[in-house]
Amino acid sequence: MARMKFLCDAERCIECNACVTACKNEHEIPWGINRRRVVTINDGNEGERSISVACMHCSDAPCMAVCPVDCFYQTEEGVVLHSKDLCIGCGYCFYACPFGAPQYPQVGNFGSRGKMDKCTFCAGGPEDNFSDAEFQKYGRNRLAEGKLPLCAEMCSTKALLAGDGDVVSAIYRERIVSRGFGSGAWGWGKAYPGGAS
């Protein structure tokens, strides 16, 4: 099986923000954190496009390279996850990520750094699958239930695609052929250079 990838078809995104809301509800994410958001570029101009952005689970993830405590790991499916037990909330990954994916909770106790939070591709974390600990720290583990990320599964225009990278890119290629143009699968080249798995 090819690795898991996200693809956002900017021609189809209607900026409805349903993916953002679905993600928040599914994982019961606290206030102030958005694992997914919709970015609008060229706002108000001719080239205006909206793109749904979260962690792209990069092939050669820059967050992994800068983490001072090596809290990241990549699953066999290519999903980039991290251990909140190891994370020291230093924020370095935030600055390394070209998609602005890492988030930090509003800190409660003075001086204590909040653990980084980001999109898990709905794959939970290192804790036991379906355990309370896993849900509390990382959210629901849909992949272990045989389901794909909710943001993509519920996207009404199918602007956001998730799953087997080969299948996802084949779907996108077909679309470009049938509509005759494509403004680009945003972030695809950056996250998966050379189509590497």
Partner 1 sequence: MSERLLSRIGICIAAASLAFTLSACRENEQDRPLTFEKGVYEGMPDQKLNEQDRGELRARTHIQQF
Partner 2 sequence: MLSAWVLAVLAFVVPINPPAHAQGDAATSMPETLEGHGGPVRSVAIGADSAHALTSSFDYSAIYWGLEAHKGRELMRLEGHDAAVNDAAFVPNTDIAVTASDDGSVAVWNLDTGEMLKRFRGPGDKVLAVDVSRDGHYAASAGWDRRVRLYDLKELKELAAFEGHRGNVNDVAFSPDGETLYSASYDGTIQSWNVKERKPGRPIYSHGWGLNIVRALPDGKSLLFGSLDGSAGVVDIESGEVLVDLAVHNGPILSADIAVEAGMALVGGADGVVRVYRMADWILLHTFENPNGPIWGASLAKDGTAAMLAGLDDAAFLWQISPRKAFEPPMGEFPRRFQISADADPGERQFARKCSVCHTLTKDGANRAGPSLYGLFGRHAGTLEGYAYSDALKNSTIVWNDETIAKLFDDGPDVVTPGSKMPVQRLKSVEDRDALIAYLKRATDPSAASASGQ
Binding residues for partner 1, rule: CB under 8 A, are: 1, 4, 64-65, 67, 70-73, 75-77, 81, 83, 85-86, 125-129, 143-144, 146-148, 152-153, 158, 161-164, 167-168, 171, 174
CA 164 to chain centre: 14
Single-letter amino acid, residue 106 = Q
Minimal distance in Å, beta carbon 124 to partner 1? 8
Nearer to partner 1, 72 or 186 (CB): 72
Report the distance separating Cα 43 and Cα 53, nearest Å: 16
Minimum distance, C-beta of residue 43 to partner 2, in the bound complex (Å): 4
14 binds, among partner 1, partner 2, none (CB under 5 to 8 A by kind): none
| Site of tokens 């689970």 | 57
Residue 179 binds what, of partner 2, partner 1, none (CB under 5 to 8 Å, by partner type)?
Answer: none
Residue among 161, 162, 5, 160 at smallest CA distance from 77: 5
Report the nearest approach of partner 2 to the CB of residue 170 (Å). 26
Please tell me the distance from the alpha carbon of residue 108 to that of residue 121, in angstroms, as a whole number.
27
- Indicate the residue among 21 and 170 with the shorter CB distance to partner 2: 21
Q: Distance between terminal CA atoms of the chain? A: 10
- Comparing CB distances to partner 1, the nearer of 6 and 99 is 6
Q: Please say which residue, 92 or 121, places its beta carbon nearer to partner 2.
A: 92
d(CA 161, CA 155) in angstroms, rounded, equals 8
**Smallest gap, in angstroms, from Cβ of residue 46 to partner 1?**
27
Surface-to-core class of residue 46, CB atoms within 10 Å of its CB (0-12 exposed, 13-18 middle, 19+ buried): exposed
Picked from partner 2, partner 1, none, the partner binding residue 73 (CB below 5 to 8 A depending on kind) is: partner 1
What span, in angstroms and rounded, lies between the C-alpha atoms of 39 and 92?
A: 22
Interface with partner 2 by CB under 8 A: which residues?
39-44, 51, 62, 65-66, 68-70, 85-86, 88-92, 95-100, 104, 106-113, 115, 190
**Structure tokens given for 72:** 């990241």
Q: Output 95 or 110, the one with its CB closest to partner 1.
A: 95
Question: What gap in Å lies between CA 173 and CA 66, rounded to an integer?
Answer: 34
